[in-house]
Amino acid sequence: MSVTAGDRRIRALRPAKRAVDPYIAHGSLVEKERRPDGRVERALTVFMAGAECPFSCSFCDLWQWTLDGPTPPGALVAQLERVLAALDGPMPQRLKLYTASNFFDRRAVPPEDYTALARLAAPFEAVTVESHASTIGAATRDFARMLGPDRTLEVGVGLETVHPVAMTQLNKRLDLARFDAATRALADAAIDLRVFVLLGAPHVPADECVDWTVRTVAHAVSRGAAVVSIIPVRGGNGEMERLRALGEFTPPTLAQLEGALDASLGLGDSVVTADLWDVERLSACEACGPRRIERLARINLSGRTEPAIDCDVCGESHRR
């Protein structure tokens, strides 16, 4: 893929990368997650070290966890073996392999590693990976077959926003036609779809932020997403600070995350959740913020809205 002027600008503004060992995963966690059939399953997420994504999206902060060159063959297998060997307690139902890149990009995941990764995934009922819409194809179907008929593959795809201007400005090289084609390919192969949606996408006016997030969730739901995750945009990569100075990016707030989730519940059969990673960074009242975060966590698991949180300190009823 050719490098554009936008790619060069975005990369030049980034701070230094972290030191990354290709044979040791960044970390792992076990968490509960609701599925469309109402079950709450336990999922093991492994944050893997691999090659950097070739798509230099303006909002991305995952590049800092990646290697400068291709992932060495066998490295991801070694990472997963270490994590599984240290796993305590009952085996979770789902395994999430997050590479901070694209699972079906051969620079990020060497194709010769698919068989070993599928073998290590055998104790799990389902496997989730993430990929840009344009890298979904034959390799995706091949990996699903390697997992076998008793395991479900789910692919997480970033839609980000359906705002017509913002979508063209994210440097993601994605349009709705390509996204929709990827969702049809997954459905035809009986592979589940997970969709990532941004809250506070750059180039979306702040006062329209919640509305466009909900519209984007609705599009994902209409394309058969099993799970839709609303992710607040984080700063810190240099490009977001440049866009903020130009008035093209306003950091989202906790109130906006609450509003987007509440408005997205009941849009269809999909599970819609608020991503609570680093949620404490969002602007919020110090007195009621923790209670509101707990409310979001409960809604993530139940799928049912709850009354707003009233606060004596800020004097507001927080829901959106």
Span 201-224, mean pLDDT?
98
Residue 268 to residue 114: CA distance in whole angstroms = 34
pLDDT in the model for residue 120: 98
Tens of pLDDT along 75-123?
Answer: 999 999 999 999 998 999 999 999 999 999 999 999 999 999 999 999 9
In this predicted structure, what is the pLDDT of residue 178?
A: 97
What is the rounded distance in angstroms from the CA atom of residue 137 to the CA atom of residue 141? 7
HSE-up (13 A, CA, CB side) for residue 179: 26
Is residue 249 a contact partner of residue 206, using CB atoms and an 8 Å limit?
Answer: no
Q: Say if CB 274 and CB 230 are below 8 A apart.
A: yes
CB 70 within 8 A of CB 101: no
Instruction: Report the pLDDT value the prediction gives residue 254, as an integer from 0 to 100.
Output: 94
Strand, helix or coil for residue 43? strand
pLDDT band at 319 (very low <50, low <70, confident <90, very high): low
Q: How confident is the model at residue 306 (pLDDT cuts 50, 70, 90)?
A: very high
Looking at residues 158-167, what average pLDDT do you find? 97
The total domain count for the chain is: 1
Separation of CA 72 from chain center: 24
CA distance 8 to 70: 19
In DSSP notation, 148-195 reads -TTSEEEEEEEEE---HHHHHHSS----HHHHHHHHHHHHHTT-EEEE
The share of the chain scoring above pLDDT 90, in percent, equals 89
Which single residue is written with the structure tokens 């819609």?
272
The CATH number of the domain where 168 resides is what? 3.20.20.70
Domain that holds residue 30: 5-318
Structure confidence at residue 283 (pLDDT) = 81
Whole-prediction pTM: 0.96
Per the rule left: phi > 0, alpha: psi between -120 and 50, beta: everything else, 48 is beta
Residue 311: the pLDDT is 87
At residue 3, the pLDDT reads 87
For residue 191, which phi and psi values (nearest 5 degrees)? Answer: -110, 130
Nearest to residue 125, comparing CAs of 159, 152, 164? 152
**Residue 223 pLDDT grade (very low, low, confident, very high; cuts 50, 70, 90):** very high
pLDDT in tens, 175-186: 999 999 999 999
For residue 285, what pLDDT band results from cuts at 50, 70 and 90?
confident
| Averaged confidence pLDDT in the chain | 95
How many other β-carbons are positioned within 10 Å of the β-carbon of residue 68? 8
Strand pairing report for 309-310 and 40-47: unpaired
Task: Give alpha helix (H) positions in the chain.
Answer: 5-12, 75-85, 114-120, 138-147, 164-169, 176-188, 209-222, 239-245, 254-264, 289-302
Take residue 309 and report the two structure tokens written for it. Answer: 């949180």
320: pLDDT strictly greater than 70 = no
